[in-house]
Structure 1
Amino acid sequence: MTALIPGEIAPPARLLMGPGPISAYPSVLRAMGAPLVGQYDPFMTATMAETQELYRQVWSTANEATLLVDGTSRAGIEAAMVSLIRPGERVLVPVFGRFGHLLAEVAERAMAEVHTIETAWGQVFAPSVIEEAIRRVKPAMLAIVQGDTSTTMNQPLAELGEICAKHGVLFYTDATASLGGNPFEADAWGLDAATAGLQKCLGGPSGSSPITLSERAVEVITSRKRIEAGIRDEDDPDAADFVRSNYFDLGMILDYWGPRRLNHHTEATSMLYAARECARLILAEGREAVIARHQLAGRAMLAGVVAMGLEVFGDVAHKMSNVVAVEIPEGVPGDAARAAMLTDYGIEIGTSFGPLHGRVWRIGTMGYNARRDAVLTTLAALESTLGRFGFAVAPGAGVAAASEILGQA
């Protein structure tokens, strides 16, 4: 039997207006098609160093240990946790959405003693609540999400660094959904570790995780025991100090990205090019200008859905700039309406997880799609789709309201 050989891949045209991944900047896609070079080619090592410097500016940090972990944003999360947490150490995770639960799970897999505090989805934590939990739990690390796309909430971080420093706690945040489209000040806020991904506000594909580490975090990482060869006996008194992963051992990855260039893995060259271009675009436009563009597009989308008679989920005062959650109107089949937008208009919006699955749609305005035409096209398509499923919308109301916001810029 002759095997069927498919043709060259040809994805359909899509406008990705969900909570991520999003439509990448065209120049990021072009960068990924650039020629490959060897992992120790002078161009390669120079590009790695250049990318590190670009991301120091994106993170707003002077941290020398600013680099990429090859893999999706979850790879960065796991690298940070498995490298910083010693088995048995206490980790405090404030949970306000699905991705707080993820941090707790990864910490458990790193053999931490995990303690969580929770608030209702759609809310964030007051710093005083987190400090009270730190006093009670006495953790080695506070691990918290900045922007949780499952709820669209943006947890304020500015006061937490001082709290952590006062209590001798490492301060880690997952900024996957927020970096690039919302304010982030790694040094000013006292972060010890922060990780992200390209596929949200940074405007690239999933597959590379920017990370930055304070000197204190690097000291913790480099103080961990290294396995030079073979597998150590579990009865070894130092065994608990070994990093349980080879691939995600940040001590080894730091040696690879540092001046010694010790072989650890083969860098994902095309993803390096993509990550470099994402950062270059942000800095060429201006970091604050990109944040302002996300804020403008987010306000316009918010005004548009409200004008259409849709209810917004959660505490809007603490919503991320780059995604809004709207209640699915009664009588409208949420998944069928999303499918109709994809089929009829090539526009993807998202549903959510857990208690919000089937209750809200999440509409993103991120990266390349934080722009006027993407916002207005999505609102027009949503209006038409809602009408098809029996939800009456005043003709043009959403587009008009968004246009008014965008016209004020």
Structure 2
Amino acid sequence: MSALPPVNTAHRLQLDPIATPDRLLLGPGPSNAHPRVLQALARTPIGHLDPLYVELMGEVQELLRYAWQTDNRLTLPMSGTGSAAMEATLANTIEPGDKVLVAVKGYFGLRLVDMAERYRAEVVTIERPWGEAFSLEEIAAALERHKPAILAIVHAETSTGIRQPMEGIGDLCRRHNCLLLLDTVTSLGAVPLYLDHWKVDLAYSCSQKGLSCPPGLGPFTMGPRAEAKMAARSGKVPNWYLDVTLLNRYWGSDRVYHHTAPVNMNFGMREALRLLAEEGLEQAWERHQRNAERLWAGLEGLGLELHAPRELRLPTLTTVRIPEGVDGKAFSLHLLNRHGIEVGGGLGALAGKVWRIGLMGYNSQSQNVDRLLNLFESELPAFRSGGVHSAAVAV
């Protein structure tokens, strides 16, 4: 037997224990987690089939139903980020050749298009400018014209700050024998959501925004009509990890092993949902609206223009137009490097045109609003044309 070579130490780093700075995350996500959630995450792990963990799984499912206002049997947190839950809604319901209508009004509508195409759907789109929402008449006309199996639409478009009105869309989908799939990534826990009342068949979200938990879990829910379509598939769901027919055996009454669940992430999710239930949905929604209005009034008082019209504006994500002559990225870096505050830049069609300010979950507090407004008032003038050169104050 030949001797083994010496260990290659080229990649052996000698590092200090991790030390991250304190940041106030007022961008499009993630947001700061609630301190009690962080405490729950730090608890000693238990087995993913431990009877105590099985009990916790049921509590998480029930609290997710409360947060979404649904009675859906198949409601669970996917072991993955919100994008995993997003993909799960499509992977489980699309069969090759199914027509999927995506209502695109921002970056994440385009992501739905990309994902649906990968599952070999026939994807058709309707589009609105990045700062507008769809009317019921537009959706009705598109359903009549295309007759899709699934309509996918974003409730809270993170790239634009637009909230899509939902009344009546579910009724239209029922009339056309079409499933309604809803992105609630930037609305769950923070913006009024009534899945059953709106007749939503599939929805997904994330853990790191309105739920005040770190990223890592993707809440997912599927109603009876979507279950029926999944059960009638001619073949297997083409994604083993996200296959709800398998996951339901673990999250359902059988508790059959599927994968090693992220136990501590679900500790955090349980605590986050427990805190939401303790506050009450209506109170949480009102808090987000109140603090958003405080931010809007303050920004407009400083002469800044908001991108989304007030009647469609999200309380969780505000898009602020970068003033002419201001280096928006330099100002964002200044806030981060000098003050430890993160705000986001624009995506896609809004890249370089807006800042995105998030007030989500634990971060939706009046003191955070006032702190940010004070910095906009005192330090943004230096970044305007004729002020101090932006590069001089960006660090």
TM range (shorter): over 0.9
Give, in whole Å, the separation in 2 of the partners of 1:70 and 1:48.
12
Question: In the alignment, residue 56 of structure 1 is paired with which amino acid?
Answer: R
Q: 1:212 matched to which residue of 2? A: 221
Question: For 1:380-406, what per-residue CA distance to the aligned partner results, in whole angstroms no more than 9, with x for missing partners?
Answer: 12222202223799xxxxxxxxxxxxx
SS of the aligned residue for 2:320 comes to strand
Q: Aligned match of 1:289 in 273, 278, 283?
A: 283
The answer (yes or no) to whether the contact 1:97–1:151 under 8 Å persists in 2 is yes
- Indicate whether 1:324 and 2:333 are aligned: no
The answer (yes or no) to whether the contact 1:340–1:385 under 8 Å persists in 2 is no
- Indicate whether 1:201 and 2:210 are aligned: yes
Query: RMSD of aligned C-alpha atoms?
Result: 1.5
**Structure 1: where are the runs of 5+ without partners?**
225-237, 394-409
SS of the aligned residue for 2:330 comes to helix
Deviation at 1:120, TM superposition (A): 0.8
Q: 1:258 matched to which residue of 2? A: 252
Q: 2:240 matched to which residue of 1? A: 246
Q: Aligned match of 1:80 in 69, 89, 92?
A: 89
Q: 1:313 matched to which residue of 2? A: 307
Question: In the alignment, residue 280 of structure 1 is paired with which amino acid?
Answer: R
- Indicate whether 1:390 and 2:384 are aligned: yes
Q: Aligned match of 1:278 in 272, 279, 287?
A: 272
Q: 2:3 matched to which residue of 1? A: none
Q: 2:145 matched to which residue of 1? A: 136
Q: 1:103 matched to which residue of 2? A: 112
Give, in whole Å, the separation in 2 of the partners of 1:81 and 1:172.
9
- Indicate whether 1:39 and 2:54 are aligned: no
Q: 1:156 matched to which residue of 2? A: 165
Q: Aligned match of 1:375 in 344, 369, 372?
A: 369
SS of the aligned residue for 1:385 comes to helix
TM-score normalised by the chain length of structure 2 = 0.93
Question: For 1:158-213, what per-residue CA distance to the aligned partner results, in whole angstroms no more than 9, with x for missing partners?
Answer: 21111111111011101001111111001111011110001111111111011111
The answer (yes or no) to whether the contact 1:341–1:382 under 8 Å persists in 2 is no
The answer (yes or no) to whether the contact 1:329–1:391 under 8 Å persists in 2 is no
TM-score normalised by the chain length of structure 1 = 0.90
SS of the aligned residue for 2:37 comes to helix
Q: 2:63 matched to which residue of 1? A: 54
Segment drifting more, 76-85 vs 379-388: 379-388
SS of the aligned residue for 1:188 comes to helix
SS of the aligned residue for 1:84 comes to coil
Give, in whole Å, the separation in 2 of the partners of 1:175 and 1:62.
17
Q: Aligned match of 2:356 in 348, 353, 362?
A: 362
Deviation at 1:4, TM superposition (A): 3.4
Deviation at 1:10, TM superposition (A): 1.1
Q: Aligned match of 1:14 in 23, 46, 51?
A: 23
Give, in whole Å, the separation in 2 of the partners of 1:122 and 1:284.
34
SS of the aligned residue for 1:246 comes to coil
Give, in whole Å, the separation in 2 of the partners of 1:163 and 1:315.
25
SS of the aligned residue for 2:196 comes to coil
Question: For 1:85-128, what per-residue CA distance to the aligned partner results, in whole angstroms no more than 9, with x for missing partners?
Answer: 11110000010000000011111111110000001110000011
SS of the aligned residue for 2:195 comes to coil
SS of the aligned residue for 1:187 comes to helix
The answer (yes or no) to whether the contact 1:141–1:169 under 8 Å persists in 2 is yes
- Indicate whether 1:182 and 2:176 are aligned: no
Deviation at 1:221, TM superposition (A): 2.1
Give, in whole Å, the separation in 2 of the partners of 1:50 and 1:223.
30
Give, in whole Å, the separation in 1 of the partners of 2:260 and 2:120.
28
Segment drifting more, 89-98 vs 260-269: 260-269
Give, in whole Å, the separation in 2 of the partners of 1:321 and 1:127.
22
The answer (yes or no) to whether the contact 1:147–1:175 under 8 Å persists in 2 is yes
Deviation at 1:267, TM superposition (A): 0.9
Q: 2:330 matched to which residue of 1? A: 336
Deviation at 1:274, TM superposition (A): 1.5
Q: 2:73 matched to which residue of 1? A: 64
SS of the aligned residue for 1:123 comes to coil
Give, in whole Å, the separation in 1 of the partners of 2:305 and 2:155.
24
Give, in whole Å, the separation in 1 of the partners of 2:76 and 2:348.
33
Give, in whole Å, the separation in 2 of the partners of 1:294 and 1:145.
19
Deviation at 1:222, TM superposition (A): 2.9
Deviation at 1:28, TM superposition (A): 1.0
The answer (yes or no) to whether the contact 1:147–1:155 under 8 Å persists in 2 is yes
SS of the aligned residue for 1:150 comes to coil
Give, in whole Å, the separation in 2 of the partners of 1:391 and 1:26.
41
Q: 2:295 matched to which residue of 1? A: 301
Q: What fraction of aligned residue pairs are identical, expressed as a percent?
A: 40
- Indicate whether 1:349 and 2:357 are aligned: no
Tell me how many residue pairs correspond in the alignment: 378
Give, in whole Å, the separation in 1 of the partners of 2:73 and 2:128.
35
Question: In the alignment, residue 28 of structure 1 is paired with which amino acid?
Answer: V
Q: 1:172 matched to which residue of 2? A: 181
Give, in whole Å, the separation in 1 of the partners of 2:286 and 2:324.
34
